[in-house]
Amino acid sequence: MSATKLVLVRHGETAWNVEGRIQGHLDIPLNEIGLAQAAAVGTRLSGENFDAIYSSDLIRAYRTASPVVAQPEIDIVRDERLRERNLGVLQGLTGEEAGIAQPAAWKVFKSREPDLALAGGESLGGFSRRILDFVETILDEHAGRRILAVTHGGALDVVYRHATRMPLSAPRDFTIYNASVNVISVSGGRWTIESWGDIHHLPQELAMDDS
């Protein structure tokens, strides 16, 4: 059987990305740049053949996926399992605000210890299992096919670490750009990164920093 190709896209920019504000499960829409990034993603991917298209049910991801197809309400499966990590009491805060208002939760978040509980939200390990369980499910359902999934930075972090066997606790040393295209090939249980952090489809003014 041929390899299964998983094309992962991070959602476009939001106002909260710009402000450094923690979004988590909060349903924050794309800003003007994010909408332009979504259009560029559509131009890049609309001519490619996908056997299935999935998106987080949060609007910033779904709106990024929508320009890829003519009938998004029919062609895109919205699935809450592709959501960002639930960051509980930290959601809505900037890092500076979190350190003051929720110091215990902020310490847990910054520690990257997988099994530490985060007040009102998911542990890092629990979040990782959610994402990987979903990915394994769709890989089984679409074995040997080409799949598109539009999701969030935290989900991409989990997938990259799994593919490279990088521990969840290790500091991140790879990019996760808004509206980036990232391709994973899976064959015989082996995950291979074919490309990562590709933003060549974005005009220079739309290629934002990794945040």
Each residue of 83-121: b (16+ CB within 10 Å) or e?
bbbbbbbbbbbeeeebeeebeebbebbeeeeeeeebeeb
What is the full DSSP assignment across 190-211? EEEEEEEEE-TTS-GGG-----
Task: Give the three-state DSSP class for 115.
Answer: coil
CA distance 174 to 152: 15
Tokens of 132: 């990987």
Distinct helix (H) and strand (E) counts, the chain: 8, 6
Helix axes 124-141, 153-164, angle to 10 degrees: 80
Which residues are identified as catalytic?
11, 84
Residue carrying the six token digits 């299992």: 129
Q: Which amino acid is at 154?
A: G
Nearest to 50 by CA among 3, 1, 6: 6
